[in-house]
Amino acid sequence: SYELTQPPSVSVSPGQTARITCSGDALPKQYAYWYQQKPGQAPVLVIHKDNERPAGIPERFSGSSSGATVTLTISGVQAEDEADYYCQSADSSGTYYVFGTGTKVTVL
Amino acid sequence: EVQLVESGGGLVKPGGSLRLSCVASGFTFNNAWMTWVRQAPGKGLEWVGRIKMKSDGGTTDYAAPVKGRFTISRDDSKNTLYLQMNSLKTEDTAVYYCTTRYKLDGFDLWGQGTMVTVSS
């Protein structure tokens, strides 16, 4: 089955930049989406269609794509950004959706 | 208010069945493709399956671990999505969320989740 691979954890000091990668064979063909999830809460969409930011999401969140890897960048990380982050996309046919393995962002 | 509210979770024995519901409000439910996502305790998000809107055929697709055991259906007259879970296994223990693409091309509307525990 199709998989999206993320690093398990990223640690960053306040004000620094966090970058989270997501790799998958179908990413050159399919859009990627990013979700933030805090403990006990439902996920929140922070990036859609590779690099578009929904209304209400801070400008420090951005997305980019290069071949089979997409990246979520959090510039000027704040304590409130500590959370789990998941990429999400579809297989090459667009039929089956998949979530990445998840990355825990720790703000030191 | 635009929202999704899941219900029906609980404790069930291995091999048992359970039906989850997700009631939608505040948007045109019959125009929405609806999706179930689950999250086992301490684990990541897992796509369970999806049902298209009736005008797109109303067809369903499922993740491999649940195919043949779970069935997604919808009642547009009640603005309700269902997940019928049969032959439950301990590894099906999870919080189950319903979600949809409300305004954006991404899952931008989520319910609060309902917990399913499969244990003897």
Residue-wise pLDDT tens digits, A33-58: 999 999 999 999 999 999 999 999 99
Taking Cα atoms as reference points, which of A17, A15, A16, A26 lies closest to residue A5?
Answer: A26
Residue A29 neighbours by CB distance under 10 Å = 14
Cα A74 off chain centre by: 10
- Count contacts between A and B (CB, < 8 Å): 57
* A88: contact with B, CB 8 A cutoff: yes
Chain B residues within 8 angstroms (CB to CB) of chain A: 35, 37, 44-47, 50, 61, 63-64, 97, 104-108, 110-113
pLDDT band at A1 (very low <50, low <70, confident <90, very high): confident
Amino acid B53: pLDDT: 97
- Closest CB to A97 among B44, B47, B113: B47
Which tens digits make up the pLDDT trace of B50-97? 999 999 999 999 999 999 999 999 999 999 999 999 999 999 999 999
Q: Do B107 and A101 touch (CB under 8 A)?
A: no
* A2: contact with B, CB 8 A cutoff: no
Report how far residue B87's alpha carbon sits from residue B59's, in angstroms, rounded to the nearest whole number: 22
- Closest CB to A48 among B44, B104, B113: B104
Report how far residue B94's alpha carbon sits from residue B90's, in angstroms, rounded to the nearest whole number: 9
Cα B16 off chain centre by: 18
- Three-state DSSP state, B92: helix
